[in-house]
Chains A and B, each alone.
Chain A
Amino acid sequence: MTTLQQSDHGGDVRLTGISKTYDNGFTAVRPLDLTVPQGSFFALLGASGCGKTTTLRMIAGLEEPTTGTVHLGDQDVTGLPPYKRPVNTVFQSYALFPHLDIFENVAFGLRRRGIKSVKKQVEEMLDLVQLGEHKRKKPHQLSGGQQQRVAVARALINHPKVLLLDEPLGALDLKLRRQMQLELKRIQTEVGITFVHVTHDQEEAMTMADTVAVMNQGRVEQLGAPTDLYENPGSTFVANFLGTSNFVEAEIMGRAGDALTLRAGDGKLTLPADRCSAATATGGKVLVGVRPEKISLTHADDAAGIADGRNRITGRITESSFIGVSTQFVVDSPLCDAFEVYVQNVERDARLVPGAEVVLHWNPAHTFGLDAAQDIEAGVEKVSEDAAA
């Protein structure tokens, strides 16, 4: 039982060559290595069926890995059943025990470990999640947000080395979800326990996590801080799954200092060499990507006023929709038939209406380059909007 005490060092979660193939032959997780540093808020992000939940369940011990090992610090826990691991889980839709009241739900783990006087600890924990006066209610008498907090309290009271969260906010409405994101982040900072959080919601992952691992088809596509992933995605999947990206196919003409010169159609584009994850040999093909909010939109009549050195593309507006803080345009250009552009509503140009000829231009530093041999549509919204499983 001493292993259950929180230790100060070596609390990393290390997955080595871990994979899972089910009896029916379906491979949920392909061999993967992953290290979650102690005390971090780590998110596994991906669409349903990408293997993120299976990975989480292998850490919890609820799923046996087909190959590979799971280490918590120095301890190999691969063969340990869930009830012997110093790890606790906040389950999807919470899995609160319907026959026990809130107090007993929270006390459950302590009691199973043979701790007799649980009253003080449980009450402190219920106060932490602001549910002190509800302790004698049954789970079904609480709202979704309250149930969610009970689930967190029930897991945290055991001081696990790692707290696993399986789509913890999936059942809540948007407003409550935003509120709970901040709440969870606050609790994590307060208790300092490693959180591993599985979600299909990119905004949720980016808001809360220090490190995000984007998973796709049983593999980790890219791992890094949210800003890195967003600003410099390593694949079209990541570029499309996290936010929206525009892509133009281009050929490398040559190199000028730190920048690559590219030809796209008749135009010329510049791309910082360190922001290109593809091969940079002259004559090679790359996909040039840029985020919609980095692009400025200027009416063709004013094109002369655009500063030199900016990447530019001409086109015609086909759609525009006003959404409050910004206006979203779809621009048809010879290079790409549906360029998305978000323009902040600071000074609105009345000429920017569907049919208008425009120039799109942006700072080359915001450009990123990807290997051209991949599906431009990979990870587009329609996949990620599916209900999580």
Chain B
Amino acid sequence: MRWLRKNLVVIAGLITLAYLLLPNVVVTVFSFNKPKGRFNYEWQQFSLDAWKNPCGVADMCGSLSLSLQIAFWATLGATALGTMIAFALVRYRFRARGAVNSLIFLPMAMPEVVMAASLLTLFLNMGAQLGFWTILIAHIMFCLSFVVTAVKARVMSMDPRLEQAAQDLYAGPVQTFVRVTLPIAAPGIAAGALLAFALSFDDFIITNFNAGSTVTFPMFVWGSAQRGTPVQINVIGTAMFLIAVLCVLAGMMVGRRKNKTVS
């Protein structure tokens, strides 16, 4: 009983963790299913069909590659623009600082559907052709604020004396930035970029409004929820989960080994 009281928080936490991971387990298990109808919601029998032929569904792999492309370019754009803003905010004093801060904060405090709808109004008014470019524009827009926040946190915790020390040691402004500022800010920039990639790749609501007839991977999944869910969706979901976890674990191992050899 005493033990139970002491570990109550641990038990509650593990229950939450189970709640968080249960859908992933279901997704993985059902990637080996052989459904009877068009929908993959009930377990029928074990099969490796979907894993053997992941691109066997019309248009799915095309949408996946489109999503990856958009995520790549959106990450690049948002990271570049966001890093510049973050540096300006932390390192310089200028007028209209408050306005800039609210402009960064508001997109994060706005329901996606509102941004999506208003952006569509703009595109309709301008007569823009909906598709790859409008999606990319929208993704850079909503990823930007998250990159700024991530980079800002890192740059703020950076000792300004490090850059002064570089200048003192004969590094000009460009050298100082390349040799000292950038390497030290890199983890923050990487975190921002990773976040931007994840947000862009997985975005559905804003994309759905501004994509026109273009179909990204989340939109493909959405469409299939109405027409019929192919098992291959679960294959992709499981594979991405595994790749991500393996990448993180590998990164951790490398980090640990590095620390060991030095100390």
Are A and B direct contacts in the complex by CB distance below 8 Å? yes
B168 at the interface (CB under 8 A from A): yes
A112 near B168 with CB under 8 A, answer: no
Cross-interface CB contact of A98 among B164, B169, B184, cutoff 8 Å: B184
CA distance in complex: A109, B180 (Å)? 12
**A89 interfacial by beta-carbon distance below 8 Å:** yes
Residues of A within 8 A of B262 (CB): 136-138, 141
Most B-side CB within 10 Å, residue of A88, A108, A137, A158: A108
Quote the shortest CB–CB distance from B181 to chain A (angstroms): 11
CB-defined contacts of B180 to chain A, threshold 8 Å: 97
CA distance A93 to B164 in the complex (A): 13
**Interface status of B63 (Cβ within 8 A of chain A):** no
Q: What 1/0 mask marks residues of chain A from 130 to 170 whose CB sits below 8 Å from any chain B CB? A: 00000011100100000000000011001000000000000
Contact with A along B159-177 (1 / 0, CB 8 A): 1011011111111100110
The complex places the Cα of A97 from the Cα of B171 at a distance, in Å, of 13
- How near does chain B come to A116, taking the closest CB pair, in angstroms? 15
How far apart are A103's CB and chain B's nearest CB, in angstroms?
A: 13
**Which applies to chain B's interface (DSSP): helix, strand, loop or mixed?**
helix
A87 to B168, CA, bound (A): 7
Contacting residues, chain A, for B167 (C-beta < 8 A)? 61-62, 81-83
Across the interface, A95 reaches (CB within 8 A) one of B161, B179, B183, B263, namely: B161
A92 at the binding interface (Cβ < 8 Å): yes
CB distance from B118 to the nearest CB of A (A): 39
Shortest B156–chain A CB gap in Å is 16
- Let me know if B165 and A89 touch, CB within 8 A: yes
Chain A: interface residue total (CB-CB under 8 A) = 29
Choose from A81, A92, A136, A158 the contact partner of B169 (Cβ within 8 Å): A158
User: Would you call B171 and A62 a contact (CB within 8 A)?
Assistant: no
Convert A55-88 into 0s and 1s, putting 1 for each residue whose CB lies closer than 8 angstroms to a CB of B. 0000011100000000000000000011110011
Nearest opposing residue in chain B for A4, CB measure: B170
Mark interface residues in A120-137 (1 if CB within 8 Å of B CB, else 0). 000000000000000011
Residues of A within 8 A of B (CB): 60-62, 81-84, 87-89, 91-93, 95-99, 108-109, 112-113, 136-138, 141, 154-155, 158
> Can you list 8 A-B pairs with a CB-CB distance of less than 8 A?
A61-B167, A62-B164, A88-B168, A91-B161, A93-B159, A95-B161, A97-B165, A112-B179
Q: Other than the known A62-B168, A84-B170, A112-B166, what 9 A-B pairs have Cβ atoms closer than 8 Å?
A: A60-B168, A82-B164, A83-B167, A89-B168, A98-B184, A108-B166, A108-B169, A137-B263, A141-B262
